[in-house]
């Protein structure tokens, strides 16, 4: 789809509903008027078209006046506005629709002239400087241009930590969730009962400790513990650094931290599967382990995919705390650039924008992935903040099934009584 087609689609969306055409386009017109009042940049293409710009300004003002008339008619004919208002009847309704398209186009033109061309002008001026400019935007452009290598390395490290940490955590969580959901079966001997009890207890304790402590503290404990263990072997600092680098320690930290949250999400997804399916599998002769592997677990993983994938977005943001142990991620790169130029606000704004772009791209990719698997993508949030996980319940076709553990337990007890 071309640029013109996309703009036409956006304009059609804004002006498609007559009830909101005046309100939405009046807001756009007000923004366009504000841009027209801003000073022109040296690269402005409207600088030599003063008459045209004045005409666009008064056109937007005329639209605001027309919107005011429509508002007065709406207030004075509240009950029968649809029948009495001339703006709801042709040919005036068609004229208003085409005028709204023109409002969007004029406002967009003013935005490009003032904002886009102004930014390009500031960029070209800042890049030509031999020292850091004093104004805010020019300083941002100058610092980013001179520190592109440092920032790029930090972004790459952040993406690597979040991606590989999430993948490793997923496989670790699969193992832990099997320990977490184990229940005593009547056919189990004493040794198997002991193993199941120990495994479930370990999984609960791991989840409690990891989710109850900050990742920053975990990162420092993991890094200095590993460094201390290797130091006791007689290795030098350079030898230890080659094996136990800050990146490796950060990757271990993110992996172990995400494992605890993913384990609980997987447990919720498994609990969302209709208990009757496990009972049916057992009635066909499958053991508890076989029923879990072949019937329950595949459906439970699909239920939990939206929340599991959101952990990647969370790890992109939370990896910033690992800069305390020297991981050269985006946050560490930001601090480095701030120390070089002795300007903090400008470069931290850049870091915020980069983090926002990374999370938006990750959210879009995960949304496409969830759509490919026919599951509903979840809102962007941390899985640690979610009281329940909602997904498409396998075998039911429902997407509004709560994974509240108390409710599931009560339903099972009720079935056992019956």
Kindly report, residue by residue over 173-205, the tens digit of the pLDDT: 988 988 887 777 777 777 878 888 898 899 999
Distance of alpha carbon 283 from alpha carbon 216, whole angstroms: 48
Whether cis (ω within 30° of 0) applies to the bond prior to 91 is yes
Neighbours of 246 (CB within 10 A): 21
Q: What is the pLDDT of residues 298-345, one digit of tens each?
A: 777 777 777 777 888 999 999 999 999 999 999 999 999 999 999 999
Where are the CATH 1.10.3720.10 domain residues in the chain?
A: 148-417
Check if the beta carbon of residue 365 is closer than 8 Å to that of residue 294. Answer: no
Mean pLDDT in residue range 40-49: 89
Q: Give the contacts of 153 (CB within 8 A, at least 6 positions apart).
A: 328, 333
Check if the beta carbon of residue 174 is closer than 8 Å to that of residue 267. Answer: no
Instruction: Mark 116-136 as b/e (b = at least 16 C-beta within 10 Å).
Output: ebbeeebbebbeeeeebbeee
Distance of alpha carbon 226 from alpha carbon 229, whole angstroms: 5
Q: How many helices (H) and strands (E) does the chain have?
A: 18, 0
Mean pLDDT in residue range 256-272: 87
pTM of the model: 0.75
Q: Give the contacts of 167 (CB within 8 A, at least 6 positions apart).
A: none
The CATH number of 148-417 is: 1.10.3720.10
The pLDDT-based confidence of 366 (bands split at 50, 70, 90) is confident
């Amino acid at each position: 789809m071309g640029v013109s087609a996309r703009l036409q689609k956006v304009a059609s969306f804004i002006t498609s509903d007559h009830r909101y055409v005046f309100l939405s386009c009046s807001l756009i017109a007000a923004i366009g008027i504000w841009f027209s009042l801003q000073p022109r940049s040296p690269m402005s293409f409207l600088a030599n078209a003063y008459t045209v710009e004045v005409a666009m300004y008064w056109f937007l003002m005329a639209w605001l006046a027309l919107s005011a008339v429509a508002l007065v008619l709406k207030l004075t004919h509240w009950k029968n506005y649809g029948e009495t208002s001339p703006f709801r009847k042709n040919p005036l309704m068609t004229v208003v629709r085409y005028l709204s398209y023109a409002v969007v186009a004029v406002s967009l033109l003013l935005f490009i002239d003032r904002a886009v061309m102004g930014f390009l002008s500031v960029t070209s001026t800042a890049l030509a400087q031999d020292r850091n400019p004093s104004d805010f935007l020019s300083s941002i452009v100058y610092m980013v241009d001179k520190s592109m290598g440092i920032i790029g390395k930090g972004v790459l490290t952040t993406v690597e930590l979040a991606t590989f940490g999430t993948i490793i955590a997923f496989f670790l969580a699969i193992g832990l969730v099997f320990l977490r959901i184990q229940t005593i079966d009547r056919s189990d001997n004493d040794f198997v009962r002991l193993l199941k009890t120990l495994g479930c207890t370990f999984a609960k304790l791991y989840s409690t400790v990891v989710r109850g402590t900050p990742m920053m503290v975990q990162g420092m404990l993991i890094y200095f513990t590993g460094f201390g263990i290797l130091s006791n072997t007689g290795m030098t600092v350079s030898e230890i650094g080659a094996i136990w680098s800050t990146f490796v320690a950060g990757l271990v930290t993110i992996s172990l931290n995400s494992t605890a949250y993913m384990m609980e999400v997987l447990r919720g997804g498994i609990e969302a599967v209709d208990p009757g399916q496990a009972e049916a599998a057992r009635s066909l002769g499958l053991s508890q382990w076989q029923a879990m592997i072949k019937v329950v677990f595949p459906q439970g993983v699909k239920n939990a995919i939206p929340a599991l994938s959101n952990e990647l977005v969370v790890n992109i943001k939370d990896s910033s705390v690992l800069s305390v142990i020297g991981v050269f991620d985006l946050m560490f790169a930001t601090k480095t650039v701030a120390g070089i130029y002795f300007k903090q606000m400008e470069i931290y704004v850049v870091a915020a924008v980069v983090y926002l772009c990374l999370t938006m791209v990750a959210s879009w990719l995960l949304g496409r992935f969830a759509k490919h698997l026919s599951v509903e993508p979840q809102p962007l949030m941390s899985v640690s903040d979610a009281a329940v996980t909602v997904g498409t319940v396998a075998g039911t076709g429902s997407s509004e099934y709560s994974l509240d553990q108390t409710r599931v337990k009560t339903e099972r007890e009720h079935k056992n009584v019956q």
